[in-house]
A and B are shown apart, each in its own frame.
Chain A
Amino acid sequence: MIFNKVLRAGFQAGLRFQSTGPQASARAATAALKESLGGFSFELTDQQKEFQEVARKFAREEIVPAAPSYDKSGEYPFPLIKRAWELGLMNGHIPEDCGGMGLGIFDACLITEELAFGCTGVQTAIEANSLGQMPVIIAGNDAQKKKYLGRMTEEPLMCAYCVTEPGAGSDVAGIKTRAVKKGDEYVVNGQKMWITNGGKANWYFLLARTDPDPKCSASKAFTGFIVEADTPGVQPGRKELNMGQRCSDTRGITFEDVRIPKENVLIGEGAGFKIAMGAFDKTRPPVAAGATGLAQRALEEATKYALERKTFGKFIAEHQAVSFLLAEMAMKVELARMAYQRAAWEVDQGRRNTYYASIAKAYAGDIANQCATDAVQIFGGNGFNSEYPVEKLMRDAKIYQIYEGTAQIQRLIISREHLGKFKQ
């Protein structure tokens, strides 16, 4: 009798938040109607759902088991990257006429979040490809696109984005790498630092100063180049040993009298700064998605643990202190997801999304760190130990507040955009 009551309660609870067949088809009809009216929707297309499914399956079945050993050894996860490449999970932005799939940023973000759930080190190695390719996609001429993007779809190659220097990170206008025109070539000298895929890339996007005049404005003084990694004079440094995302290859690179043909200049001399910054509007949403994937992982690991571990006679999830921690983690994950989805959707619609992209990246980076820390807290002593998965999440999360524009720079951008709107 009681059993029936419990079942009925369970059944009703089930009904409340799950859809029945006819209800689902009614919803689908409404969604179709809304789409035709151009209304707001959180619904993914069938294709997006399938893409997400493949990425999710790959991440959970292949990346998750392999991640701890890559983290310990720091070895570059080439087998995983090759597999992702075979499945079409990489290089999604490359236009169709270069052999790619021409995916929008939104689709790329869906995939990135799933991969990051598996391991953000692997995801960063893959994402660095998108970052390196983006200047070529937005500013390359046909010949450059066919040559440098085409080869990425023919075999699993990596590329890198070389802007940061030992003396200039946030202050991009302060970079000192010099490119001097000599005949039909540019000769480049300088030092880059913290270049993801630095030691594995087949080619680099390089930003260098072409106008030596210190009074020249940033928007005219820099030039973007495509540099083949095997050009004489390109010297990658040693692999840096970082706190987290340890399997990702990060290096300093020295450029000593490197000669770049003028055909490899993007757009023209002086256009570099705009290209470098323009790439960020398209690459910040995926980075935010990566941080969200990490936060989601932290939430799921912590939830699983909280439903297994007992203390004071109850599962720790039944203690409000813990369930409130989980609730706040859930809040943060859901909001970060909505933020990056908005930023990605805006740019796919053809609009300038700087404001939303910065918000998404800033927020996701912050909450990834908070959720990872909270996950360690929920695991207690076990969380601090390397046999459990959450300490890696905490170490991996930190960089999300630093790379692709620090948390502070994001706030600068957001305030500038926000005040700019008010002044109109």
Chain B
Amino acid sequence: MHRSSEVKHLASDFNTRACECFGQPPVQPFESHCPVLTDRTVRVQLKVLKVKDGSVFFIRVKPDRTGVVTDGVKHSMNPFCEIAVEEAVKLKEKKLVKEVVAVSCGPQQVQETIRTALAMGADRGIHVEVSGKDYETLGPLQVSKIFAALAKKEQADLIILGKQAIDDDCNQTGQMTAALLDWPQGTFASEVTLEADKLKVVREIDGGLETIKINLPAVVTADLRLNTPRYATLPNIMKAKKKKITNVKPADLGVDVSSRLEVLKVDEPPQRQSGVKVETVHDLVEKLKEAGRI
């Protein structure tokens, strides 16, 4: 089908997961970075990002070419952040951390994402209010500054984030946060073990798996195979309503959220041209020569 191939093309370029969409009406996506602070009293600072839902079909470029239309598009928690929340809750269940704090940056609607993290087992939430223009230009650098400030304020020992957001694929926030705090980092984690006061992290790298040992406090970013996130059960959703979410403004943390980047242009990927079928290898070579490729 012409439309779906166009969409899949778009999807792969914007790196949203091309999943089956059961025709659910699009809902608001919100990019909110929500780290989980845990206390070892480890406070796991969970980054809970609300991103455009991976199963949304029709992502469109805005007419003024400055970005993608987000109005009316379904948002949900960034899948890698779900994995981060799950890991933090698991650590708490093993009694290795004392408190799990879920943090999200964005407008009012990110409170839903924080509630989901609370329903999964986080103890309390922090909502860093960023809305309007500031929210549109909010990028990894500003978010990491916010996290670094919060980590110091909350005296977190461990920050767990998703490795990247599925809508912008930046893969920067975790690394920047660690740099700002001068903490060690274990990124692309597929296994995390607490050993005394050190963290053993198995990282997924291009060549395979790398195991490192880092001191606490540290920053960890979660990769796909770290765990399978749990469902929020109905009783937990009800209990989560009683858990606290505090509101904070970036200014309160001494962070300036103005962006140093200017988006020049956002384009859709070029329309896919139809290919040509050839019968033999000989024909293939001929065609390639014709096209000047070889």
Binding site for B on A (CB under 8 A): 4, 7-8, 10-11, 14-15, 17-21, 24-25, 46-47, 50-51, 54, 57-58, 60, 86-89, 92, 101, 111, 300, 303-304, 307-308, 315
Stretch at the interface among B108-116, B148-156, B197-205, B250-258: B108-116
B71 touching A87 by the CB < 8 A rule? no
Which residues does chain B contribute within 8 Å of A19, judged by CB atoms?
28, 71-72
B28 touching A10 by the CB < 8 A rule? no
**Interface: B280 (CB within 8 A):** no
When each residue 100-124 of chain B gets 1 if its CB lies under 8 Å from chain A and 0 otherwise, what string results? Answer: 0000000111001001100100000
In Å, the complex CA distance between A230 and B242 comes to 41
B60 touching A87 by the CB < 8 A rule? no
Partner of B60, one of A7, A50, A300, A304: A7
Partner of B108, one of A11, A25, A303: A25
**Interface: B61 (CB within 8 A):** yes
| Contact A60 to B1, CB < 8 A, known contacts A20-B71, A51-B234, A54-B233 | no
Within residues 60 to 96 of chain B, which ones have a CB less than 8 A from any CB in chain A? 60-63, 69, 71-73
Which residues does chain A contribute within 8 Å of B23, judged by CB atoms?
300, 303-304
B233 touching A315 by the CB < 8 A rule? no
Smallest CB–CB gap between B208 and chain A, Å? 30
Closest to B72 in A: A18
Which residues does chain B contribute within 8 Å of A8, judged by CB atoms?
63
| Contact A57 to B234, CB < 8 A, known contacts A7-B63, A18-B26, A50-B115 | no
B235 touching A88 by the CB < 8 A rule? yes
Closest to B232 in A: A54
Smallest CB–CB gap between B38 and chain A, Å? 23
Smallest CB–CB gap between B113 and chain A, Å? 11
Smallest CB–CB gap between A166 and chain B, Å? 38
| Contact A14 to B234, CB < 8 A, known contacts A25-B108, A315-B1 | no
Which residues does chain B contribute within 8 Å of A17, judged by CB atoms?
72
Partner of A51, one of B28, B60, B61, B237: B237
In Å, the complex CA distance between A304 and B24 comes to 12
B231 touching A101 by the CB < 8 A rule? no
In Å, the complex CA distance between A378 and B61 comes to 34
**Interface: B238 (CB within 8 A):** yes
Smallest CB–CB gap between B8 and chain A, Å? 14
A87 touching B72 by the CB < 8 A rule? no
Which are the 5 A-B pairs with shortest beta-carbon distances?
A18-B72, A88-B234, A88-B233, A87-B233, A20-B71
Smallest CB–CB gap between A81 and chain B, Å? 15
Smallest CB–CB gap between B265 and chain A, Å? 13
Smallest CB–CB gap between B179 and chain A, Å? 32
A11 touching B60 by the CB < 8 A rule? yes
**Interface: B241 (CB within 8 A):** yes
Smallest CB–CB gap between B18 and chain A, Å? 15
Which residues does chain B contribute within 8 Å of A307, judged by CB atoms?
1
Which residues does chain A contribute within 8 Å of B241, judged by CB atoms?
47
Interface size (B, Cβ < 8 Å)?
30
A86 touching B107 by the CB < 8 A rule? no
Smallest CB–CB gap between B73 and chain A, Å? 8
| Contact A300 to B22, CB < 8 A, known contacts A11-B63, A11-B69, A18-B72 | yes
A87 touching B112 by the CB < 8 A rule? no
A24 touching B28 by the CB < 8 A rule? yes
When each residue 202-238 of chain B gets 1 if its CB lies under 8 Å from chain A and 0 otherwise, what string results? Answer: 0000000000000000000000000000011111111
B237 touching A54 by the CB < 8 A rule? yes
In Å, the complex CA distance between A4 and B65 comes to 10
B107 touching A21 by the CB < 8 A rule? yes
A87 touching B22 by the CB < 8 A rule? no
Smallest CB–CB gap between B233 and chain A, Å? 5
Partner of B115, one of A18, A46, A86: A46
Closest to B55 in A: A60
30 A-B Cβ contacts within 8 A?
A7-B60, A7-B63, A8-B63, A14-B60, A14-B69, A17-B72, A18-B26, A18-B72, A19-B28, A21-B28, A21-B109, A21-B131, A24-B28, A25-B108, A46-B112, A46-B115, A47-B237, A50-B232, A51-B234, A54-B231, A54-B232, A54-B237, A58-B231, A60-B22, A88-B233, A88-B235, A111-B234, A300-B22, A307-B1, A315-B1
A11 touching B62 by the CB < 8 A rule? yes
Which residues does chain B contribute within 8 Å of A92, judged by CB atoms?
234
| Contact A14 to B237, CB < 8 A, known contacts A54-B232, A57-B231, A60-B22 | no
In Å, the complex CA distance between A7 and B26 comes to 18
Closest to B1 in A: A308
Which residues does chain A contribute within 8 Å of B112, judged by CB atoms?
46
Which residues does chain B contribute within 8 Å of A86, judged by CB atoms?
233
Which residues does chain B contribute within 8 Å of A303, judged by CB atoms?
23
Which residues does chain A contribute within 8 Å of B61, judged by CB atoms?
7
B63 touching A47 by the CB < 8 A rule? no
Which residues does chain B contribute within 8 Å of A11, judged by CB atoms?
60, 62-63, 69
Within residues 278 to 294 of chain B, which ones have a CB less than 8 A from any CB in chain A? none
Closest to A100 in B: B235
In Å, the complex CA distance between A404 and B235 comes to 29
B22 touching A14 by the CB < 8 A rule? no
Which residues does chain A contribute within 8 Å of B109, judged by CB atoms?
21, 24
Partner of A101, one of B60, B69, B107, B234: B234
